[in-house]
Structure 1
Amino acid sequence: MSEEKTELSQGSGTSLPKRSTVSEGGDVVDAIDPILEKRLVRKLDFAMLPLFTLIYCLNFIDRTAIGNAKIAGLEKDLGMTGFDFNIALTIFYVCFTIADIPSNIIMKLMGSTWIAIQIILFGLITLGTTFIKTYEQLIVTRIFLGIAESGTLSGLVYLLSRYYRRKELVIRIGIFFGLSPTLAGAFGGLLASGLLSIRDFGVVHSWRKIFFVEGIITTGVGILLLFFIPADPLKSRLLNETERELTFARLNADQIVKTNGKTEPASLKLVLQSLNIWTMLCSVCFLLINISFQGLSLFLPTVVNSLGHFTVVEAQLRTVPPYAVAAVWCMVIVFWSFHTNQRALPIVVTLVVEVVGYAMAISTKNSRARYAACFFSLVGTEPVGPMLLIWGTDNAAPDTMRAVTAAAITGFGTIGSVIAVWTYLPQDAPNFHNGNSVNLSAAAVAAALIILGASYLRWENARRDRGEQDHRLRDGMSEEEIQNLGYRHPEFRYQT
Structure 2
Amino acid sequence: MSKSDSFVDEKSIRSVGGAEAAVPAYTIDPEAEKRLLRKLDWRLLPLATAIICLNFIDRAAIGNAKIAGLERDLGMAGYDFNIALTVFYVFFVVSEVPSNLLLKRFGTTILAITVIGFGLCTLGSAFVTSYDGLMVTRVFLGISEGGTLPGLTYVLARYYRKKEFILRLSVFFGVGPSLAGAFGGLLASGLLKVGDFGTIKSWRKIFFIEGLLTIVVGIACLYLLPADPRTTKMLNEEERALALARIDAESVVKNQGKKEKATWKLVWRAFNFNTIICSLVYLLLNISFQGLLLFMPTVIAGLGKFTVVMSQLRTVPPFLTAAVWGLIFCYLGLRLRKHAVVMLATMPLVVIGYAISIGTTNADARYAACFLVIAGAIPTGPIVYAWGVGNSAPDTVRAVTTGIIPGIGAIGSIIAVWTYLPFDAPNYRTGNTLNLATSSTIIVVIIVGMVYIIWENAKRERGERNYRLENKSDEEIEQLGYLHPQFRYTL
TM-score range, shorter chain: over 0.9
TM-score if structure 2 supplies the norm length? Answer: 0.96
Report the counterpart of residue 479 of structure 1 in structure 2.
474
Using the alignment, how far apart are the partners of 2:234 and 2:401 within structure 1? 26
**Relative to 1, partners in 2 of residues 1:130 and 1:29: Cα closer, same or farther, differing over 3 Å?**
closer
Tell whether 2:15 aligns with 1:10: yes
SS at match of 2:202: coil
5 Å-filtered alignment, 1:31-430, equals 31-430=27-426
Tell whether 2:489 aligns with 1:494: yes
Structure 2: state its 5+ residue gaps.
Answer: 1-10
Using the alignment, how far apart are the partners of 1:82 and 1:493 within structure 2? 51
Using the alignment, how far apart are the partners of 1:226 and 1:324 within structure 2? 30
SS at match of 1:307: coil
5 Å-filtered alignment, 1:14-29, equals none
Query: Amino acid of the residue matched to residue 178 of structure 2?
Result: T
Contact 1:113 1:226 in 2 (8 A): yes
Using the alignment, how far apart are the partners of 1:402 and 1:489 within structure 2? 15
TM-score if structure 1 supplies the norm length? Answer: 0.95
Using the alignment, how far apart are the partners of 1:471 and 1:201 within structure 2? 69
Contact 2:25 2:245 in 1 (8 A): no
Query: Amino acid of the residue matched to residue 84 of structure 1?
Result: D
Query: Amino acid of the residue matched to residue 485 of structure 2?
Result: P
SS at match of 1:11: strand
Using the alignment, how far apart are the partners of 1:176 and 1:463 within structure 2? 36
Cα shift at 1:13: 9.2
Using the alignment, how far apart are the partners of 1:13 and 1:117 within structure 2? 27
Contact 1:7 1:260 in 2 (8 A): no
Identical-residue share of aligned pairs (%): 55
Query: Amino acid of the residue matched to residue 488 of structure 2?
Result: R
Deviations 1:30-52 (A, max 9, x none): 53111111111111001100110
**Relative to 1, partners in 2 of residues 1:126 and 1:276: Cα closer, same or farther, differing over 3 Å?**
same
Contact 1:8 1:249 in 2 (8 A): no
SS at match of 1:204: coil
SS at match of 2:27: strand
Query: Amino acid of the residue matched to residue 227 of structure 1?
Result: Y
**Relative to 1, partners in 2 of residues 1:30 and 1:272: Cα closer, same or farther, differing over 3 Å?**
closer
Report the counterpart of residue 24 of structure 1 in structure 2.
none
Contact 1:351 1:380 in 2 (8 A): yes
Using the alignment, how far apart are the partners of 2:356 and 2:333 within structure 1? 27
Structure 1: state its 5+ residue gaps.
Answer: 1-5, 19-27
Query: Amino acid of the residue matched to residue 168 of structure 2?
Result: R
Contact 1:86 1:422 in 2 (8 A): yes
Using the alignment, how far apart are the partners of 1:434 and 1:465 within structure 2? 47
Deviations 1:421-468 (A, max 9, x none): 000001111111111111111111111010110111011001101101
**Relative to 1, partners in 2 of residues 1:30 and 1:380: Cα closer, same or farther, differing over 3 Å?**
closer
Tell whether 2:439 aligns with 1:460: no
Using the alignment, how far apart are the partners of 1:456 and 1:241 within structure 2? 42
Point out 4+ residue stretches in structure 1 off by more than 2 angstroms: 6-9, 11-14, 28-31, 260-263
Deviations 1:105-133 (A, max 9, x none): 00111111111000111111111111100
What is the root-mean-square deviation of aligned Cα atoms in Å? 1.6
Query: Amino acid of the residue matched to residue 462 of structure 1?
Result: A
Contact 1:252 1:258 in 2 (8 A): yes
SS at match of 1:259: coil
